[in-house]
Amino acid sequence: MKPSIYITRKLPDVCVAELKEKFDVKMWESEEIAVPQDVLLSEVKKVDALLTVVSDPVTEELLSVASNLKVVANMAVGYDNIDVEAATKRGIYVCNTPDVLTETTADLTFALLLATARRVVEAAEFTKEGKWQSWSPFLLAGHDVHHKTIGICGMGKIGEAVARRAKGFGMEILYHNRTRKPEAEKEIGAKYSSFESLISQSDFVVAMAPLTNETRHMFNAEVFRKMKSTAIFINTSRGAVADEGALYEALEQKEIAGAGLDVFEVEPIASDHPLLQLKNVTALPHIGSASIDTRMAMIHICVENIQRILTGESPKTLVNKSMLETK
Ligand code: DGY
């Protein structure tokens, strides 16, 4: 019997053709609608590999019924949707898709920063809605980006790629990270800063840290209060690094000037969510890595990791590296 794979979202045939030659492949047949958890619970019982997306919760409960499962290949660099500890305990490899999405996600982060500062989305809607009556001095006037201070919280590869873009705009670059990045300091001119000083000095505070127990709600009411009243908060990492209730209050009370959000505590965010009612919020549907080339590259890595593991080779991009020590 061939090893079997369950793919939790419809992917292009060309991406799965190679897998289908060697393995039994079953795929959830919708691109937009997530596989219901009860379906996933029943499918996972039978398979050797799972290809998941960022919105699939791979919980301890799910893993506990997956008696043949050898690998979860997650189509994302982040893996906070997976209980990695529970997977490791059961000898299941967890793989992600780092590197290939770095520049694409940095592009989107910078696009969101520019769009929020210069009110691009609001201005485009205004024009299409026929509201434009005449040129006027402060019509949709926003905030400058060039030569302002950007504060990047979480200086991983994507953070550094954002910093390189900021350098091109002549920005002063501050960063906060668990470890210092001497290469980024030397090559990009980024300055290491304490979190406290970064949030109070930056015109643009950019959340780039992965979601962990330590980073959950790191942007809370107290933090927003310490930001400049002209500051713009950008989040392309995970929604839960910010307390959305506190963010709403800070925007509503004009403690900060705006927010550009690609990620939310609950996704998809409901259209009647208070944050979406604010003019000074630019909201996107978690599209940080969404270029066609990058999404194809991410799928390709997942496919490669699954093939490797099911044929006894080491995975290319492993999250739970301790698995290699125990093998
Ligand atoms: C990631 O890779 O973690 C993104 O959030 C999903 O594209």
- Mean predicted confidence (pLDDT) in 165-172: 98
User: Percentage of residues in the chain with pLDDT exceeding 90?
Assistant: 98
Please indicate, yes or no, whether residues 136 and 245 belong to a single structural domain of this protein. Answer: yes
Pocket test for ligand 1, best of 9, 51, 53, 54 (most atoms within 8 A of CB): 54
Q: For residues 245 and 267, is the Cβ–Cβ distance under 8 A?
A: no
Which amino acid belongs to residue 115?
A: A
Please indicate, yes or no, whether residues 17 and 93 belong to a single structural domain of this protein. Answer: yes
- Mean predicted confidence (pLDDT) in 245-271: 98
Residue 275 Cβ contacting ligand 1 at under 6 Å = no
Flag whether pLDDT at 97 surpasses 60: yes
Please indicate, yes or no, whether residues 63 and 184 belong to a single structural domain of this protein. Answer: no
pTM of the predicted model, to two decimals?
A: 0.97
Distance CA 177, CA 155 (A): 6
Q: Give the long-range contacts of residues 160-164, CB within 8 A, separation 24 or more.
A: 160/184, 160/188, 160/190, 161/102, 161/103, 161/105, 161/106, 162/106, 162/109, 162/110, 162/206, 162/208, 163/188, 163/190, 164/106, 164/188
From 113, 125, 83, select the one nearest 279 (Cα to Cα): 125
Please indicate, yes or no, whether residues 131 and 144 belong to a single structural domain of this protein. Answer: yes
Flag whether pLDDT at 309 surpasses 80: yes
| 128: Cβ contacts below 8 Å, ≥ 6 apart | none
Please indicate, yes or no, whether residues 249 and 153 belong to a single structural domain of this protein. Answer: yes
CATH of the domain at 299: 3.40.50.720
Flag whether pLDDT at 151 surpasses 90: yes
Distance CA 36, CA 102 (A): 30
Please indicate, yes or no, whether residues 83 and 122 belong to a single structural domain of this protein. Answer: no
Please indicate, yes or no, whether residues 264 and 141 belong to a single structural domain of this protein. Answer: yes
Task: Please tell me the predicted confidence (pLDDT) of residue 290.
Answer: 98
Distance CA 165, CA 70 (A): 39
Task: Please tell me the predicted confidence (pLDDT) of residue 166.
Answer: 98
Task: Please tell me the predicted confidence (pLDDT) of residue 325.
Answer: 80
Please indicate, yes or no, whether residues 119 and 266 belong to a single structural domain of this protein. Answer: yes
Residue 289 Cβ contacting ligand 1 at under 6 Å = yes
Ligand 1 centroid to residue 139 C-alpha, Å: 36
* Ligand 1: residue whose CA is nearest its atom 2: 76
Determine phi and psi for 71, rounding to 5 degrees: -150, 140
Please indicate, yes or no, whether residues 195 and 233 belong to a single structural domain of this protein. Answer: yes
- Polymer length in residues for the chain: 327
Ligand 1 centroid to residue 76 C-alpha, Å: 4
- Mean predicted confidence (pLDDT) in 128-133: 98
Ligand 1 centroid to residue 97 C-alpha, Å: 8
What is the tally of structural domains in the chain? Answer: 2
Task: Please tell me the predicted confidence (pLDDT) of residue 324.
Answer: 86
Q: Give the model confidence (pLDDT) of 67-93 as tens digits.
A: 999 999 999 999 999 999 999 999 999
Residue 75's domain spans which residues? 4-100+292-326
Residue 154 Cβ contacting ligand 1 at under 6 Å = no
CA-to-CA separations, 148 to 37, 188, 208, in angstroms, rounded: 45, 15, 19
Please indicate, yes or no, whether residues 277 and 132 belong to a single structural domain of this protein. Answer: yes
- Mean predicted confidence (pLDDT) in 135-159: 98
Q: Give the model confidence (pLDDT) of 155-167 as tens digits.
A: 999 999 999 999 9
Please indicate, yes or no, whether residues 48 and 193 belong to a single structural domain of this protein. Answer: no
Distance CA 228, CA 199 (A): 8
Please indicate, yes or no, whether residues 89 and 152 belong to a single structural domain of this protein. Answer: no
pLDDT tier, 327 (very low <50, low <70, confident <90, very high otherwise):
low
Q: Give the model confidence (pLDDT) of 181-206 as tens digits.
A: 999 999 999 999 999 999 999 999 99
pLDDT tier, 293 (very low <50, low <70, confident <90, very high otherwise):
very high
Question: Exposed, middle or buried by CB within 10 Å (0-12, 13-18, 19+), for 253?
Answer: exposed
